[in-house]
Structure 1
Amino acid sequence: MTSQPQRVLYIVSLFPCWSETFIVREIEQLLAHGVDVRILSLKRPSETLVQARAAALMDRVVGPPSFPAALVAVTMQVLRRPLRMAGVLGTLVAQLWRSPVSLAKSLVALWRGIGALPAIRRQDPQLIHAHWATYPSTVAWALGRLADTPFSFTCHAHDIFIEDQLLRRKLSDAALAVTISGFNRRHLARWGAAEAGERLQVVHCGVDFAELPAQESARRDGAIVSVGRLDPIKGFDVLIAALGTLRERGVPFDCHLIGEGPLRPRLEAQRRSLQLEPVLSLPGAQPQEKVRSALVEASIFVMPSVVTPEGNQDGIPVALMEAMACGMAVVGTRVSGIPELIEHDVSGILVEPGDSQALAGAIERLLSDAALRQRLGAVARERVRQDFNVAAETRRLLSLFGRALHPQGAADAR
């Protein structure tokens, strides 16, 4: 049996971040297991809505230092470890020179990461772990080399579907690489996932199952809810088109589309053109308590994820897991790892991405059949309890952290 780490540094682009509640839950679970987790945020806090659970972790956050402080830290690092610094910078330039924007952002992130080294050294982390295979894991890789500390990272969606920021190098050098679905693991084959072997593992993003009770009696007939960033990968334009079809068919419904993002003006224009204002609300980002109330009250949850022309797509949306944990009947699409969560006609309904007519048909089917909603919702809740429960998934991650730090001990235990 391998021992778990006592001190772990998490690196993220921005903390707190409204759309990354899964990271908050993971850190909470690690703290509950006695791990001292500190968080390096590569950007200063900027979000107007901060969830209460994220706010409770702010005393653990190290932000980007001031320019003078960063300059001193970087200068000291150059003087102490000139060859390591040259190696890190040389690797970044060699790998990213064809993408000058990514290179420039990586250098800025590295500047901020090295600038935070004095604060990081006070914690003396045994492991540096990053979420996302882009700038956070680049900084984790670099700090690992500069501080002689093992690093690991979790990759999710766009960071591997449309980006390649030293992925092959990171998979090779990481003590542990984690991804959130079997689909992602197969996708990573192009960057040497096979060579990573057991160092590449699937750990699902999880939900706090205990805080998502099923309340079937509270559900309103005809109520639809969807939650997510107003981003092209979510396919909310397809959902609005499907709602327009339902309106034409005379199907009674009201829909709440909760979230904020760059597509708001376009989605509002589409809502106006289809005259859906009375039955489709766009309330923006909401506190977690209001999101959960919406999940409890609605009849069905819809997540119309798509694949963009660039190849970007969802991982497995956490909002979809939360809805299923509440015992909701859900509609999803056959995108990325979503079929690993939803078995068609068993724990939900799956349709092809981008097909608004099929989506309308699935929604109408569920709205008209209470028994089907109840059957699918019960199976969905059990599916999440078994395989997408944050408590169990974090215990698995913690075990993998221990194996990464003590690979010989893990081999002996086998």
Structure 2
Amino acid sequence: MTRKLAVVVKGWPRLSETFIAQELVALEEAGHSFDIWSLRHPTDTKTHPLHDRLNAQVRYLPEYLHHDPNRVWKARAEARTLPGYAAAYAIWRRDLARDLDKNRIRRFGQACVLAAELPADTRGLYAHFLHTPASVARYAAIMRGLPWSFSAHAKDIWTSPDWEIAEKLADDATGATFGATCTAYGAAQLRRLSADPARIDLVYHGLDLGRFPDPPDHAPRHASDPLRLVSVGRLVEKKGFDRLIAALAQLPDTLDWHWTHIGGGPLSEPLAEQARTAGIAGRITWCGPCDQPRVIDQMRNADLFVLPSRIAEDGDRDGLPNVLMEAASQRLPILTTAVSAIPEFIENDVHGTLSEDTPAAFAAAITRLAADPARTRAMADAALARLRAEFVMEPGIERLSRRLTRLTEGT
């Protein structure tokens, strides 16, 4: 059994972050002991079966400092007695001067609570996401004189300022011992900003195929059959669903289709209104957030998985969405874009189709794929084979486990 970790996350549990739950369950099974410290309380009303497999204790930090002032002030008083408090405070003040925001103030308050309440046997901190969770972990680790590390994903890499990433990767006692990230695309960016590029590990999430049934053995779809499309993803700008709706409105009248969307998000009503205005609302089913069994069921009964990822105005973008690998696990043909790290898994016209990021291009691609079921089936077979050969979970977990063991043992 390794020594205890503190794992810092944005919120727990979250339906959209199955990759974190998958990793933590696997780390427990590999012998790691940790508590989860969540910056936010859950907002999803459902959970995945995967969440029930985790034994770690979940502790919630004050989501907003004014919600629990007594706890915050007590922790601040305790934190002031810690050997690294003055150094952490000076770093935070320097950060605040460049990022004068309420969120930055909240990060330090949460870090004081974390540092004051960490169990005595904690030997290191590990944060999921390089922005807010890593800031809280870093400040608390400095206060306690503990090593810390992080796993970076997508938004946290591309919307954090370079100065902040570089300082979190500084080659001194305040910087991360190591950083893991789930794409070569993201790793290249972090290595560019790191004082020691060797601190950055490429660790694909991969897929725990034991959580998924064998793919269905449906009879091949005929080109004249209705086309059942499915998408899974939050309703946010970077997922590009507005352009997909515009593409669906351009499909030829001769194509009988239906699109099912799974996921929630702030753009749910604007996108539903876009579909109504386009006259295609009757061909769309909005499922909202769903647990893993429901997602798999929808994938197993679809003909084409569509994820129109793009780069948002603020620079936010996907990494390598796990839903692509989940679709591949069910031998579901894939239509997506070449944004970010998606081509690390999908080679165009080999494992799926990478479309240009325009409604016209998506409409043309859907029409072409609907007319050629044999071709789409061949690409789905190739994606499944690549998933099984190169993108299973176990190699990444072994690498991450070794890193975390060294972190907690001080080697």
- With the length of structure 2 as denominator, give the TM-score of the two structures: 0.90
Instruction: Identify the residue that residue 209 of structure 2 maps to in structure 1.
Output: 209
Instruction: Identify the residue that residue 49 of structure 1 maps to in structure 2.
Output: 46
Instruction: Identify the residue that residue 80 of structure 2 maps to in structure 1.
Output: 78
Aligned to 1:270, which of 267, 274, 280? Answer: 274
Aligned to 2:376, which of 373, 376, 386? Answer: 373
Residues in 2 aligned to 1:380 and 1:281: alpha-carbon distance in whole angstroms: 26
Instruction: Identify the residue that residue 341 of structure 2 maps to in structure 1.
Output: 337
Instruction: Identify the residue that residue 239 of structure 1 maps to in structure 2.
Output: 244
User: One-letter code of the match for 1:348?
Assistant: G
User: One-letter code of the match for 1:255?
Assistant: W
Tell me, yes or no, if structure 1 residue 181 matches structure 2 residue 183. yes
| Structure 2 counterpart SS, 1:309 | coil
1:208-255 deviation per Cα after TM superposition (whole angstroms, max 9, x unaligned): 212222113188751110000000000001111111111x34211111
Instruction: Identify the residue that residue 155 of structure 1 maps to in structure 2.
Output: 152
Alignment CA distance shift 1:270-1:326 (3 Å): same
Aligned to 1:105, which of 77, 93, 103? Answer: 103
| Structure 2 counterpart SS, 1:178 | strand
Residues in 2 aligned to 1:209 and 1:361: alpha-carbon distance in whole angstroms: 33
* Higher percent of residues as helix: 1
Q: Which moved more, 1:218-227 or 1:278-287?
A: 218-227
Residues in 1 aligned to 2:299 and 2:219: alpha-carbon distance in whole angstroms: 10
User: One-letter code of the match for 2:265?
Assistant: G
* Cα displacement (A) at 1:59: 5.6
Q: Which moved more, 1:232-241 or 1:275-284?
A: 275-284
Residues in 2 aligned to 1:392 and 1:250: alpha-carbon distance in whole angstroms: 46
Alignment CA distance shift 1:251-1:186 (3 Å): same
| Structure 2 counterpart SS, 1:19 | helix
| 8 A contact 2:15–2:46 mirrored in 1 | yes
Alignment CA distance shift 1:80-1:188 (3 Å): closer
Q: Where in structure 2 are the equivalents of 1:253-332 lying within 5 Å?
A: 253-332=257-336
Alignment CA distance shift 1:338-1:155 (3 Å): same
* Cα displacement (A) at 1:127: 2.5
* Cα displacement (A) at 1:11: 0.2
| Structure 2 counterpart SS, 1:10 | strand
Instruction: Identify the residue that residue 396 of structure 2 maps to in structure 1.
Output: 393
| Structure 2 counterpart SS, 1:284 | coil
Instruction: Identify the residue that residue 22 of structure 1 maps to in structure 2.
Output: 19
1:324-371 deviation per Cα after TM superposition (whole angstroms, max 9, x unaligned): 122111011010111111011111111122x11111222222222221
User: One-letter code of the match for 1:154?
Assistant: S
User: One-letter code of the match for 1:155?
Assistant: A
Tell me, yes or no, if structure 1 residue 384 matches structure 2 residue 381. no
* Cα displacement (A) at 1:118: 4.9
User: One-letter code of the match for 1:287?
Assistant: D
Instruction: Identify the residue that residue 164 of structure 2 maps to in structure 1.
Output: 166
| Structure 1 counterpart SS, 2:377 | helix
* Cα displacement (A) at 1:386: 2.8
| Structure 2 counterpart SS, 1:389 | coil
Instruction: Identify the residue that residue 402 of structure 1 maps to in structure 2.
Output: 405
Alignment CA distance shift 1:118-1:311 (3 Å): closer
1:80-132 deviation per Cα after TM superposition (whole angstroms, max 9, x unaligned): 43xx222212212213423212xx3133133223213454224x233311011
Tell me, yes or no, if structure 1 residue 9 matches structure 2 residue 6. yes
Alignment CA distance shift 1:277-1:58 (3 Å): farther
Aligned to 2:136, which of 136, 139, 146? Answer: 139
Residues in 1 aligned to 2:115 and 2:96: alpha-carbon distance in whole angstroms: 24
| 8 A contact 2:82–2:144 mirrored in 1 | no
* Cα displacement (A) at 1:30: 0.6
* Cα displacement (A) at 1:29: 0.3
Residues in 2 aligned to 1:218 and 1:54: alpha-carbon distance in whole angstroms: 34
Q: Where in structure 2 are the equivalents of 1:345-356 lying within 5 Å?
A: 345-353=349-357, 355-356=358-359
Residues in 2 aligned to 1:404 and 1:196: alpha-carbon distance in whole angstroms: 16
Q: Which sections of structure 2, spanning at least 5 residues, go unmatched?
A: 63-67
Residues in 1 aligned to 2:347 and 2:134: alpha-carbon distance in whole angstroms: 33
Residues in 2 aligned to 1:219 and 1:232: alpha-carbon distance in whole angstroms: 34
1:147-177 deviation per Cα after TM superposition (whole angstroms, max 9, x unaligned): 2221110111111212227211111211111
Q: Which moved more, 1:70-79 or 1:153-162?
A: 70-79
Residues in 1 aligned to 2:273 and 2:82: alpha-carbon distance in whole angstroms: 57
User: One-letter code of the match for 1:166?
Assistant: E
| 8 A contact 1:22–1:205 mirrored in 2 | yes
1:231-280 deviation per Cα after TM superposition (whole angstroms, max 9, x unaligned): 0000001111111111x342111110111111111111111112112211
1:165-217 deviation per Cα after TM superposition (whole angstroms, max 9, x unaligned): 72111112111111111111222355x23x32211111112222122221131
